[in-house]
């Protein structure tokens, strides 16, 4: 069974960058996509972007085109998310989620979440 394990919580200064990892254990990156979804404190879910490692294709939500980079390392079955120019409103729990190829929005399973706090 596939599990997603994310890196830990981070405290960042405004204007800095953060890199979050998501390791896919119990499977490979073939025939899957990995999406990133964030949830600000007390708020709803927001899809920010995703990657299809086998096709080396990334997709970003329009508001994140200029500040988000998603990459994948097939050898370590790990996907990375880098968010730049951090602001206080980027404070959120960031989840990675597996998506079966051919079934968009079918996110299952999810990682445990990585809390990113942006504060001076």
Partner 1 sequence: QSALTQPASVSGSPGQSITISCSGTNSDIGDYNFVSWYQQNGGTIPKLIIYEVNKRPSGVSDRFSGSKSGNTASLTISGLQPEDEADYYCCSYAGSEIFVVFGGGTKLTIL
Q: How many residues bind partner 1 (CB under 8 A)?
A: 21
Residue 38 phi/psi, 5° resolution? -120, 160
Residue 95 as a binder of partner 1 (CB under 8 A): the answer is: yes
Residue 10 as a binder of partner 1 (CB under 8 A): the answer is: no
Residue 54 phi/psi, 5° resolution? -65, -30
For residue 38, count CB atoms less than 10 angstroms from its CB and return exposed for 0-12, middle for 13-18, buried for 19 or more.
buried
84, 112, 115, 117: which one binds partner 1 (CB under 8 A): 112
Nearer to partner 1, 8 or 13 (CB): 8
13, 44, 75, 120: which one binds partner 1 (CB under 8 A): 44
80, 92, 107, 114: which one binds partner 1 (CB under 8 A): 107
List C-alpha distances in Å: 66 to 48, 87, 119. Answer: 12, 14, 21
Residue (of 89, 83, 90, 52) closest to 69 by Cα position? 83
> Within positions 55 to 94, which residues make up the interface with partner 1, using CB under 8 A?
59, 61-62
Nearer to partner 1, 10 or 46 (CB): 46
Q: The tokens 């990675």 sit on which residue?
A: 96
Contact positions vs partner 1 (CB under 8 A) = 35, 37, 44-47, 50, 59, 61-62, 95, 103-108, 110-113
């Amino acid at each position: 069974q596939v599990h997603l394990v994310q890196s830990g919580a981070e405290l960042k200064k405004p204007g800095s960058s953060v890199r979050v990892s998501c390791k896919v254990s119990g499977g490979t990156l073939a025939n899957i996509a990995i999406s990133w979804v964030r949830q600000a404190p007390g708020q709803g879910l927001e899809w920010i972007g995703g990657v299809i490692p086998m096709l080396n294709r990334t997709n970003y939500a329009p508001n994140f085109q200029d500040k988000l980079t998603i990459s994948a390392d097939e050898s370590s079955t790990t996907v990375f998310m880098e968010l730049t120019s951090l602001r206080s409103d980027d404070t959120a729990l960031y989840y990675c989620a597996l998506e079966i190829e051919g079934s968009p929005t079918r996110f299952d399973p999810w990682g445990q979440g990585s809390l990113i706090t942006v504060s001076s």
